Amino acid sequence: MNKIFIIKWVSLSLIVSLQTIVWTGEGAGEKSYGFLFSPNSTSAQDKAQETKQENKQDVKAKQVPKKKRGFGDQNYVKDSNELQLSIEGPIDAEFAPIVGKLTTLFYECYPKLLKRFDNPKLPSAKHVKLRFRPAVNVPAYCVNDTITISMDWLKKHPEDIGLLTHELTHVVQHYPGGQAGWMVEGIADYARFCYGPETQPGWSWNRRLGARNKFDQSYTVTGKFLWWLEEHYPKSVDKLHQNLQNRTFSVDDFKTITGKEINELWEQCLKDQDKNSKSSPKSSK
Ligand SMILES: [Zn+2]
């Protein structure tokens, strides 16, 4: 190599390296959702409206480049590329960080919920709407692809953002009407445990099951039972879930899948819970 060629080569390498550093900086996760929530400029409702219009007009622009979305874990970026989250409500500066956490959680857990529970014959919504309301008489609820969340509840219980994973499970379930409510809520809490935040302090999942409980008690009680079931009979929760989606679920399905009556399974679950509580299903799902 002559001297001029070496100088050119070194200069080119430097430029490429600098571009790489700038690009990596743009992909940093901390500011990834800042464009959605800016309480000091316009109201959150205006922002939500702008976001809606932007979604319609400029879907392609939002999809590229992937690194600029910056949702942290690259494993999720590919799957969540076609997903959209709309925000609506009177979000103030105090509440904005909570909305940011919920947004991050959405892009982390919704692809996993879709991968595991989506019905290919009846695909779930790719565009989910979050409505924030100052006072709702429950922490959150879901109707079709819209999740309403109580701002009062989350301001008092900011550690409870895992409720979003529960509600997103309902979006993916979209079971036909009249299905067993205890299974609907049990699977939603089972999914919250598997795909929600790594730590969820204060959540009722952490309470010990006892003689006062029963498998059809719904929410975390049924959820913990389903988690035990899945550990001992892999894919059993998936089969029960599919039967609910196909409108064929009955309590006899537990025996069809495992060969044991549900009461017998429940008794075994109670005996095993201390053993189970030491490991996390997150490592295996
Ligand atoms: Zn629910």
User: 99 and 209: one domain?
Assistant: no
User: 220 and 105: one domain?
Assistant: no
Ligand 1 centre distance from Cα of residue 233 (Å): 24
User: 137 and 52: one domain?
Assistant: yes
CB 143 within 8 Å of CB 173: no
Ligand 1 centre distance from Cα of residue 38 (Å): 30
Distance CA 85, CA 55 (A): 10
| Lookup result for tokens 């929600």 | 196
Determine how many CB atoms are found less than 10 A away from the CB of residue 84. 16
User: 112 and 218: one domain?
Assistant: no
User: 47 and 65: one domain?
Assistant: yes
Please give the order of strands across the beta sheet that includes 140-143. Answer: 84-88, 127-133, 146-150, 140-143
Ligand 1 centre distance from Cα of residue 142 (Å): 7
pLDDT for position 202: 87
Backbone angles phi, psi at 110, to 5 degrees: -65, -40
**Is residue 196 in some structural domain?**
yes
Ligand 1 centre distance from Cα of residue 154 (Å): 16
**Is residue 88 in some structural domain?**
yes
Distance CA 125, CA 145 (A): 6
**Is residue 182 in some structural domain?**
yes
User: 91 and 110: one domain?
Assistant: yes
Distance CA 34, CA 31 (A): 5
Count of domains forming the chain: 2
Q: Is 124 exposed, middle or buried, given 0-12, 13-18 or 19+ CB atoms closer than 10 A?
A: middle
Ligand 1 centre distance from Cα of residue 185 (Å): 5
Question: CB-hemisphere CA count at 13 Å for 162?
Answer: 21
**Is residue 243 in some structural domain?**
yes
User: 48 and 153: one domain?
Assistant: yes
Q: Is 34 exposed, middle or buried, given 0-12, 13-18 or 19+ CB atoms closer than 10 A?
A: exposed
Q: Please, which residues bridge with residue 146 across strands? A: 129, 143
Written as six digits, the tokens of 267 are 């008794």
User: 245 and 272: one domain?
Assistant: yes
Ligand 1 centre distance from Cα of residue 33 (Å): 26
User: 169 and 258: one domain?
Assistant: no
pLDDT for position 281: 46
**Is residue 52 in some structural domain?**
yes
User: 166 and 54: one domain?
Assistant: yes
Select from 136, 156, 174 the last residue of a domain: 174
215, 220, 224, 217: which is closest to 265 by C-alpha? 215
pLDDT for position 81: 64
Ligand 1 centre distance from Cα of residue 183 (Å): 10
Ligand 1 centre distance from Cα of residue 167 (Å): 6
**Is residue 266 in some structural domain?**
yes
Select from 174, 194, 224 the last residue of a domain: 174
Ligand 1 centre distance from Cα of residue 132 (Å): 17
User: 115 and 52: one domain?
Assistant: yes
Ligand 1 centre distance from Cα of residue 166 (Å): 6
Ligand 1 centre distance from Cα of residue 43 (Å): 30
Distance CA 205, CA 223 (A): 8
pLDDT for position 155: 94
Ligand 1 centre distance from Cα of residue 148 (Å): 12
Domain that holds residue 120: 40-174
Select from 156, 174, 192 the last residue of a domain: 174
- Mean pLDDT per 10-residue segment, the chain (285 residues): 47 37 27 26 40 40 35 38 92 94 97 96 94 94 97 95 98 94 98 96 90 96 97 98 96 98 97 64 40
User: 164 and 217: one domain?
Assistant: no
**Is residue 185 in some structural domain?**
yes
Ligand 1 centre distance from Cα of residue 248 (Å): 21
Ligand 1 centre distance from Cα of residue 6 (Å): 65
The conformation of residue 119, written as its DSSP 8-state character, comes to B
Ligand 1 centre distance from Cα of residue 37 (Å): 27
**Is residue 19 in some structural domain?**
no
Ligand 1 centre distance from Cα of residue 110 (Å): 16
